[in-house]
Chain A
Amino acid sequence: MALTIEQPGLLTTVQDQGRIGYYNVGIPQGGAMDQESAQAANKLVGNTAAEAVLECTYMGPSFTVDAPTTIAVTGADIPVLLNGTEQSAWTRIELAEGDAVKFGVLRGGARFYLAVRGGVDVPEVLGSRSTYAIGRLGGVDGRKLEAGDVVPVGSPVGELPSVAEIPESLRPALGGDQELRIVWGLYDHLLTDEGRRRLVEEEWKLTPVADRMGLRYEGPGVEWIQREQPFGAGQDPSNIVDAGYAVGSIQVPGGTQPIVLHRDAVSGGGYAMVGTVISADMDLLARATPGTSTRFRAVSMEEALEARRERARRIEGLWGL
């Protein structure tokens, strides 16, 4: 069983829950940027949370299948076309041998997920099937999909669930303004009080520079404390001696545009991080489109952990359907 890719879409990659344990040598976590949506797709086709899916960005691929199978599409709002007829997303779709699937024009969100019953079955590299394109690792030949690729699909691992559709109440909201909760820390002491105030009280807009590595925002800028730079740290007040980067951390090179690092980010570098988006809000970033008005709201560690538990309960509810 395989998908034959006719058109690859803008940026379609194989992703799973990520590659854990190699960050200390610069190999990023990777994995689906919107984990909750990817899990919903896996749920609908009878996979576990660990099966690899296709992450599609803005424009979808088109493909045919060489055997009967079951798919589901979740995440961003996009028409799913089966042999030219629109199907519901967030719903299980049965395919017959030779069926052709393509996608219409995106109506909201940024990334959508295609799960296939049995999971995308490219070889595991360092414990994951996720694509790390810079390092030419994982996925299909370590790169995004290209026309003519044949994407292998594994054998079904479990029964199909009784539910064939994810209820509206469990689907994420798309579009509109975003609020991202952050925990102060790391090098926030290098910002002036005014710099800190602007980051969490002013409005920021997502720029088009937003990908799997990170998302860049424009707004009023921040202010750094002027100081004599420590040896080895570089001349700009936003520079530090190169250090490990937390996934979700916010850096503001030069003080102008904050960048939130996401799952394919570089693992370290010389820009001061001033706070970190909480784990419960990382999926939100994957759904933001350029121009999205964004506020960063500072929360305590207790609030961050409570939000984490709430997200875990929501995902548990999804698997309990």
Chain B
Amino acid sequence: MTEQSTETMYLPTARYTWGGDEFLFVEFDEAMNLTANYLATAVAHGLEQLDLDGVVDVCPANASLLVRFDPDVLAGEDLKRRTQELEAQARTATQHTVETRIIEVPVWYQDPFTAEVSQRFREGYHQEPGGSDLDFAAKVNGLDGADEFVRRHHGSPWLVSMVGFVAGLPFLYQLVPRERQLQVPKYLSPRTDTPPLTVGHGGCFACIYSVRGAGGYQMFGVAAAPIYDPGQELPDFEDFLILFRPGDLVKFRPVDEAEYRAIQEQVEAGTWRYRQAPVTFDVEASIDDPESYNRTLLEALDGADN
């Protein structure tokens, strides 16, 4: 481990607690980090494999896990014991890898849609009503303006660390050391409107708003293609109406207005497909040397077709 490894597999013991009589909650760490996220993903995967009668929903989150169960079928203490066993296995495994994929997501940064909505929510909502969300984000991160922030935003890949809030919304954690994480406070008060497919940011997390609605994250651009398709009209949604799963890797690619329009036409025609490639994500390799490991991850996309 190098000095930049503020993360190790040896987190303190997880905290087990109850959400009423139907929910078990496991917090792997109070703070966000890749190890806690890996444990949440691995224990969730283990529970799904076990397929215990009475387990209703297994919901891995950024650094925690929520399990809904039916206490008439499965006693909470039994579920807790099985979950603790899976946690111990995940911690002592010799390899900490996830079979997943990397997906390229085209984004029109500094687009007119989020600009228009942000103008409606300035005074009383935003820390710096006089400037744009990106100007503010660059300033609080000590960067040289919006362009520099955007370059950093799409320069390194992101991990889908949680899916939720609303249907299909990914929370994304950038695969860079903690000291290089982009951190931006949420709006002072949430907006009542956010354009669909807004690429947002709150705390250390990016997100893509899957549907139009309320939101408190800073707005930097719009993704060019849907990530939620309730009509299942596009080929990427043939099997399921939601694109992202926890553990997916995302590479944002900046596009200009002309390319955004071209992608929109493909979406309209029903021919749009995301460029993506299968990868094995090695958590320790990412923690130890994120920069060179990110190059390896991105190489997987080079050979991918649309």
User: B210 to chain A: which residues have CB within 8 Å?
Assistant: 26
Cα(A27)–Cα(B58), bound, Å: 13
Cα(A270)–Cα(B32), bound, Å: 12
User: B246 to chain A: which residues have CB within 8 Å?
Assistant: 24
Q: In the complex, are the beta carbons of B169 and A246 less than 8 A apart?
A: no
Partner of B64, one of A26, A185, A243, A267: A243
Q: Does A233 contact B (CB under 8 A)?
A: yes
Q: Does A234 contact B (CB under 8 A)?
A: yes
Cα(A125)–Cα(B31), bound, Å: 37
CB of A165, distance to nearest CB on chain B (Å) = 29
User: B96 to chain A: which residues have CB within 8 Å?
Assistant: none
Q: In the complex, are the beta carbons of B25 and A186 less than 8 A apart?
A: yes
Partner of A242, one of B20, B21, B76, B162: B162
Q: Does B167 contact A (CB under 8 A)?
A: yes
Q: Does B57 contact A (CB under 8 A)?
A: yes
Question: Mask for B214-249, Cβ within 8 A of A = 1, else 0?
Answer: 000000000000001010000000000010111000
CB of B149, distance to nearest CB on chain A (Å) = 18
Q: In the complex, are the beta carbons of A232 and B31 less than 8 A apart?
A: yes
Q: In the complex, are the beta carbons of B21 and A267 less than 8 A apart?
A: no
User: A137 to chain B: which residues have CB within 8 Å?
Assistant: 167, 230
Q: In the complex, are the beta carbons of A186 and B19 less than 8 A apart?
A: yes
Q: In the complex, are the beta carbons of B27 and A26 less than 8 A apart?
A: no
CB of B58, distance to nearest CB on chain A (Å) = 6
With known contacts A241-B62, A243-B27, A244-B164, A231–B32 Cβ distance under 8 A: yes
Question: Mask for B163-190, Cβ within 8 A of A = 1, else 0?
Answer: 1111111010000001000000110000
CB of A10, distance to nearest CB on chain B (Å) = 19
Q: Does A277 contact B (CB under 8 A)?
A: yes
Cα(A27)–Cα(B166), bound, Å: 6
User: B202 to chain A: which residues have CB within 8 Å?
Assistant: 234, 270
With known contacts A25-B168, A26-B165, A266-B166, A231–B23 Cβ distance under 8 A: no
User: A243 to chain B: which residues have CB within 8 Å?
Assistant: 25, 27, 61-64, 66
Question: Mask for A243-279, Cβ within 8 A of B = 1, else 0?
Answer: 1111111000000000000000011111001001111
Q: In the complex, are the beta carbons of B230 and A135 less than 8 A apart?
A: yes
Q: Does A145 contact B (CB under 8 A)?
A: no
Q: In the complex, are the beta carbons of A135 and B167 less than 8 A apart?
A: yes
Q: Does B130 contact A (CB under 8 A)?
A: no
CB of A319, distance to nearest CB on chain B (Å) = 16
User: A245 to chain B: which residues have CB within 8 Å?
Assistant: 66
Partner of A25, one of B33, B64, B167, B186: B167
User: B44 to chain A: which residues have CB within 8 Å?
Assistant: 24
Q: In the complex, are the beta carbons of A233 and B164 less than 8 A apart?
A: no
Interface size on A, residues (CB 8 A): 51
Q: Does A136 contact B (CB under 8 A)?
A: yes
With known contacts A24-B59, A135-B228, A304–B21 Cβ distance under 8 A: yes
Q: In the complex, are the beta carbons of B59 and A134 less than 8 A apart?
A: no
Partner of A233, one of B17, B25, B31, B178: B31
Q: In the complex, are the beta carbons of B25 and A244 less than 8 A apart?
A: yes
Q: Does A301 contact B (CB under 8 A)?
A: yes
Cα(A270)–Cα(B62), bound, Å: 10
CB of B214, distance to nearest CB on chain A (Å) = 9
Question: Mask for A194-209, Cβ within 8 A of B = 1, else 0?
Answer: 0000000000000000
Q: Does B51 contact A (CB under 8 A)?
A: no
Q: Which of A135, A301, A304 has the most CB of B within 10 A?
A: A135
Interface residues, chain B, with chain A CB atoms under 8 Å away: 17-23, 25, 27, 29-33, 44, 56-66, 68, 71-72, 76, 162-169, 171, 178, 185-186, 202-205, 210-211, 213, 228, 230, 242, 244-246
Q: A24-B163, A267-B164, A273-B19 given. 16 additional CB < 8 A pairs?
A: A25-B245, A26-B167, A26-B168, A135-B228, A136-B230, A186-B19, A232-B63, A232-B204, A234-B202, A239-B203, A242-B61, A244-B65, A246-B19, A246-B66, A276-B19, A279-B20
